[in-house]
Chains A and B, each alone.
Chain A
C-alpha cells in the first residue's frame, strides 16, 4: 500500500462535536426530520395535532436548551467575551450567538403558533389545501371542500429555523453559505403556500426564489474570491490575512463587496430591497410574520459576525459603504412607505426602513479602547434593536391576520377605515405596535432607536444619524396615518371586520405587546443581557 495513503487513513480521526453546546441546534434539525417522518407515516387527519405539538415542543425545548448553554459558557479574555469554537472550527457558540438563538427561537415559537391558527379560516389553516393543484381548477376546489391542510409547513419551518440558527453561528464562509441556503429554501416554499390569493402568493415565492438564488450566487462568488485572497474559509484566518495585508487587495475588496450583496439582500437593504414588499405581501401573513422577524435577525447576526470578525480590522474600507447603504435604505424604505395603500406592503417598506436603522447601528462599531466604561457598544445596540423589532413585527402581522372580510384577509387601507372605532382593543394594539416602530418613547422601538443612533454618533457617523433622524420623521408620518385611518376616518363601502382568533394568535399578540411595552419601560435587563453577551470570539 502506498505509505502516504496509509498515513492519511490512520490520521483520520472522528470530528469532535461539542454536543453539550450544540444540542439546541441539533434538536431543531432533529425535530424537523421527525416532522418529515410524521408526514410520511401518519394518516392525514392526525398529522395536524402531532405536528403542532412536536414543533412547539421542539422549539420550546431548544429555547430552554439555549438558556442552559448560555449559562454554561466559559468566560474568555477577562470577561470581554464568552463561549467556544465548536464542531472543528465551523461553528461558534459565543454570547451573541446564544442571544440570537434565543431571539430566533422565541419568534419561531410565535410563528409556529400563528401557523397553527385554524379558527380564522373556519377550521383550516391559512395554507393551501393542496399546493400542487392549479389555482382555479377542480382539484383546488376539491382540496378545499375536503378541508385538506398542508401540515408540511411545520417541518419546513423548523428547517428554516435551523438554518437561521446556524447562520449567525457560522465560523467559516462555507458553513455560512450552507446555512443561508438551509434557511432560504424552506422559506421560498412557505411563501407560495397561501390558501387565498394563490397567484399572488406563488408569484411572491417565485420572485423570492429567483432573486434569492441570484444573490446566493453573488455570495458564493464572494466566498471564492475571499478564499483566493486569504487562503482560508475561516473567519479568524481571513482576519489574519486582512491584518497582515498579505495579498491582492482587489480580491479582498471585490470579495467583500460580493459577500455584502448576498447578506444585504437577505436583510432587505437598498438597492437589494425590491423583493421585500412583493414577498411580504404575497406570502401567507403568518409566514411573513415569522420571516420578517427571523430572517432579519439571522441575517444581521451573520452580517455582524462577518464584518466584525473577518473584516473587522479593515473597517475603514467598509464603513463608508455602509454609510451610503444605510442612508439609501432608510430613504427608500420610509419614502416609499408613504405612498402605500396596503397594510402588508406598508409594513414591508417599514421593515426596509428598519434595516436602514439597524445598519446605522452596524456601522457604529468602535474598538474597545475608544469606548468609555459602561458605554453602549454597537453589537449591544443592534442586538437590542433586533429584539424590539422582532416583537413589534410579529405582533403587527399577527394583528393583520385578524382583519378580514368575505375574501379572507383584508389589507387595503380603504377597508381599515374606522377599524379602531369598531374594535378599539385591536385598533389600540395595532396602534401601539406602530408607535413602537415609529420610535415613540415608552415603547421598545424608542430605546432601540436611541441605542443604534447613539453608537453611530459615538463613532462619528453624524451625517448618517442626521439622515436617520430625518427619515424617522418621514416614517412617523406613515405610521400615524394608519392610526388616523383606524380611529378618525369614517369608512365607506365594504369594510373589514375583526375575527375572533383562538388562543394561539391572541397569545402571540399579547406576548408581543407585553414585550414591546416592557422593553420600552424597563429595557435594563435585556440591555444588560446584550452587554453580557460580550464580543464575538474569533
Chain B
C-alpha cells in the first residue's frame, strides 16, 4: 500500500491536460495548445518513470488503490500494476510525447488543439485500462477509449476518414458489447457465489461451472480479438490506418490494440484458466492464420500505411500465439513482443508519415529513389523495418524467437507455420523498402527533403530503444517475468522439465492440479 495515489495521478494528468488544451484560449495558429499538450505528455512520462522507479520486481499487484464506487453493483475503483501493466504503461507514456512531436503539423489545417486534446484523453484512458484491477472499471475505460479514438480518426487524416472511423467504432463497440454480456455474466456468477464483486482478486478464485466459464471466456475473447486484431475480425485495421494520420495510427496500433492482447493475458487467462486451455486449439489456428494471411496481404498492398497496418495483423498473431502456447517463454515473449512491436511499428508509421507528407502520396508505386536525397529518412526506415522483420540485434528478434520456441514446444506444426511469418516479413519489409527508397530518381524528378531536427528527434528515441533492447532485453524481462510466473501458476501449467535421464517428471502433474 502506498499513501500517494500514483496511478490515479498518472491517469488524471493527461485527462486534465486534455481539458486544458481543449479549452485554452487560443489565437488561430498559435502554438500554445500544442506546447501545453506536449508538456502534459512529458509530465506524464515523468510520472510513469517515477512509478517504474518505485516498482519492485517482485510480482503481484503494486501501488494498489481501492475505493468503493458503485455499491449496488459491487464495483470498485481499483488500480494496481504488475509487470505486464507496468511495461504497457511505460510504452504508452513513452509513445504519446513522441507521437505529439511527430505529428506537430499534421492537424494544422483542421484544429490542432482538438488533435492534441483527444490524443491526451486517449492516453489517460489507456493508462486507466492498463492499471484497472476491477473488471467493471476496466470495461468502462476500455469502451471509453473508443470515443477519443473515434474523433481522432474521423477528425484528422485523409479523404474517407469518416467512413473509416465509423467502421472502426462499429467493430470495436460490437466486440465491446459482446464483452458486456460476459461482464454481466461475471456479476451473475459472482452473485450466485455470495456477494457480487468485480475485483479481480475476488473473481480470480471464483468457482464457476465449466459451461459458464467457457461462455464468459468466449465473450471476453471476441472483444479482445476484435481489438488486437485477429483474423477474421481484422478488417477495420487496414482502412483505419490508411485514412487516419500516422500519429493516430501509432496511438491505435501501438497502444490501443495492445489492450486486446493485454486483456487476453489479464482476463482470459487470469479469470478463465480452464476455458483458456479448452479454447487453445482454435485460438492457435486463428493466430497462425493471422500471421500468414496478414503477411501475405501486407505484401500485396500498394499503400504504405495500409501495408504497415497489416503487418501488425501478423505481429498480433505472433503475440496471441505466444500467449496461448502456455509456457513461460511464450508468455514472456508475448509481453516483450507487445513492447517491441509498439516501438518498431511506431517508428515505421511516423517515418512513413514524414515521407508521405513530402511526396503527397502514400502509394508505393508512385515513389522511387528516395534514399538519394533523403538518406537519414531512408536509413531510419530501414532500421525500423529490419526490426520489424526480426533481424537479430534489434529488439523484435528476442521476442520473436521466444514466441517461436514456445510455438515449437506447443506443437511442431504451429512453430513451422509461424516461422514462415518471418520469411514473409522479410519480403514485405525489404520489397517495400526497395520500391520506395532505392532506384533512380523520384518519378517526378523532385528531390525529397530529408528529416528536419524535430522529426529526427521524435524518431530517435524509438530507434535507440530498438537497438538497446535488441542487445540487452533483460530489464524488460526482469519486469515481466514475475507476472508471467504468477499467471502460469494460476492457469496451472508449468514448463515441461528439461529431459534429463532418470529425473522425476512429477512437476508436470503438480501443475495440473
Q: A residues bordering B, Cβ < 8 Å? A: 371-376, 380, 435, 438-442, 446-447, 449-451, 453-454, 457-458, 465-466, 469, 472-473, 476-477, 480-481, 484, 487-489, 522-524, 527-528, 531
B411 to chain A, nearest CB (A): 33
Interface string of B133-149 (1 = CB under 8 A from A): 00000011111101100
Interface string of B154-189 (1 = CB under 8 A from A): 110000011001100110011001101101110110
- B71: chain A residues within 8 A (beta carbon): 374, 524, 527-528
B125 to chain A, nearest CB (A): 9
Q: In the bound complex, do residue A450 and residue B154 qualify as a contact, i.e. CB atoms below 8 Å apart? A: no
> Which residues of B65-103 are within 8 A (CB) of A?
69-74
Question: Quick one: closest A residue to B139, CB to CB?
Answer: A441
A524 to B71, CA, bound (A): 6
A450-B184, A480-B166 known; A469+B178 contact, CB < 8 A: yes
Q: In the bound complex, do residue B155 and residue A488 qualify as a contact, i.e. CB atoms below 8 Å apart? A: yes
- B183: chain A residues within 8 A (beta carbon): 450
B194: Cβ under 8 A from any A Cβ: yes
Task: Report 23 cross-chain contacts, Cβ distance below 8 Å, ordered by A residue.
Answer: A373-B195, A374-B74, A374-B196, A375-B191, A450-B180, A453-B180, A454-B188, A458-B191, A466-B181, A469-B177, A473-B173, A476-B170, A477-B170, A480-B166, A484-B154, A487-B151, A488-B155, A488-B161, A488-B165, A522-B70, A524-B72, A527-B71, A527-B72
- B195: chain A residues within 8 A (beta carbon): 372-374
Q: In the bound complex, do residue B194 and residue A480 qualify as a contact, i.e. CB atoms below 8 Å apart? A: no
Q: In the bound complex, do residue A457 and residue B184 qualify as a contact, i.e. CB atoms below 8 Å apart? A: yes
A472 to B181, CA, bound (A): 11
- A476: chain B residues within 8 A (beta carbon): 169-170, 173-174, 177
- B201: chain A residues within 8 A (beta carbon): none
A523 to B77, CA, bound (A): 13
B192: Cβ under 8 A from any A Cβ: yes
Q: In the bound complex, do residue A454 and residue B187 qualify as a contact, i.e. CB atoms below 8 Å apart? A: yes
Q: In the bound complex, do residue A442 and residue B144 qualify as a contact, i.e. CB atoms below 8 Å apart? A: yes
- A473: chain B residues within 8 A (beta carbon): 170, 173-174, 177
Q: In the bound complex, do residue B141 and residue A484 qualify as a contact, i.e. CB atoms below 8 Å apart? A: no
A450-B73, A469-B178, A477-B170 known; A488+B154 contact, CB < 8 A: yes
A372-B194, A454-B188, A472-B177 known; A481+B143 contact, CB < 8 A: no
- A528: chain B residues within 8 A (beta carbon): 71-72
A489 to B196, CA, bound (A): 45
A331 to chain B, nearest CB (A): 16
A449 to B73, CA, bound (A): 13
Q: B residues bordering A, Cβ < 8 Å? A: 69-74, 139-144, 146-147, 150-151, 154-155, 161-162, 165-166, 169-170, 173-174, 177-178, 180-181, 183-185, 187-188, 191-192, 194-196
Question: Quick one: closest B residue to A477, CB to CB?
Answer: B170
Q: In the bound complex, do residue B144 and residue A487 qualify as a contact, i.e. CB atoms below 8 Å apart? A: no
A528 to B144, CA, bound (A): 25
A334 to B181, CA, bound (A): 18
Question: Quick one: closest A residue to B171, CB to CB?
Answer: A473
* B181, B183, B192: residue with the most chain A Cβ atoms closer than 10 Å: B181
- A469: chain B residues within 8 A (beta carbon): 177-178, 180-181
Question: Quick one: closest B residue to A470, CB to CB?
Answer: B177
Q: In the bound complex, do residue B181 and residue A481 qualify as a contact, i.e. CB atoms below 8 Å apart? A: no
**Pick from B146, B162, B184: contact of A484, CB under 8 Å:** B162
Q: In the bound complex, do residue A524 and residue B69 qualify as a contact, i.e. CB atoms below 8 Å apart? A: yes
* B144, B154, B177: residue with the most chain A Cβ atoms closer than 10 Å: B177
**Pick from A376, A435, A457: contact of B185, CB under 8 Å:** A457
A521 to B319, CA, bound (A): 34
- A489: chain B residues within 8 A (beta carbon): 162
A375 to B74, CA, bound (A): 9
Q: In the bound complex, do residue B192 and residue A372 qualify as a contact, i.e. CB atoms below 8 Å apart? A: yes
A440-B147, A477-B170, A527-B70 known; A375+B140 contact, CB < 8 A: no
- A447: chain B residues within 8 A (beta carbon): 70
- B73: chain A residues within 8 A (beta carbon): 376, 450-451, 454, 527
A473 to B170, CA, bound (A): 7
Question: Quick one: closest A residue to B145, CB to CB?
Answer: A441
A457-B184, A457-B188 known; A531+B72 contact, CB < 8 A: yes
- A454: chain B residues within 8 A (beta carbon): 73, 184, 187-188
Question: Quick one: closest A residue to B125, CB to CB?
Answer: A442
Question: Quick one: closest A residue to B70, CB to CB?
Answer: A524
B140 to chain A, nearest CB (A): 4
A79 to chain B, nearest CB (A): 16
A372-B192, A435-B147, A442-B144 known; A480+B169 contact, CB < 8 A: yes
A521 to chain B, nearest CB (A): 9
- A524: chain B residues within 8 A (beta carbon): 69-72
A95 to chain B, nearest CB (A): 15
A375 to B190, CA, bound (A): 10
Question: Quick one: closest A residue to B192, CB to CB?
Answer: A372
Q: In the bound complex, do residue B72 and residue A487 qualify as a contact, i.e. CB atoms below 8 Å apart? A: no
**Pick from A374, A441, A457: contact of B140, CB under 8 Å:** A441
Q: In the bound complex, do residue A441 and residue B143 qualify as a contact, i.e. CB atoms below 8 Å apart? A: yes
Question: Quick one: closest A residue to B68, CB to CB?
Answer: A524
**Pick from B74, B140, B170: contact of A446, CB under 8 Å:** B140
A453-B180, A469-B180, A523-B70 known; A481+B166 contact, CB < 8 A: yes
- A380: chain B residues within 8 A (beta carbon): 72
- B166: chain A residues within 8 A (beta carbon): 480-481, 484
- B161: chain A residues within 8 A (beta carbon): 488
- B196: chain A residues within 8 A (beta carbon): 372, 374-375
- B181: chain A residues within 8 A (beta carbon): 453, 457, 465-466, 469
In the A-B complex, the 10 residue pairs with the smallest Cβ-Cβ separation, listed nearest first, are A488-B162, A441-B140, A527-B72, A441-B143, A473-B174, A375-B191, A372-B191, A488-B154, A476-B173, A469-B181
A155 to chain B, nearest CB (A): 39
Q: In the bound complex, do residue B170 and residue A480 qualify as a contact, i.e. CB atoms below 8 Å apart? A: yes
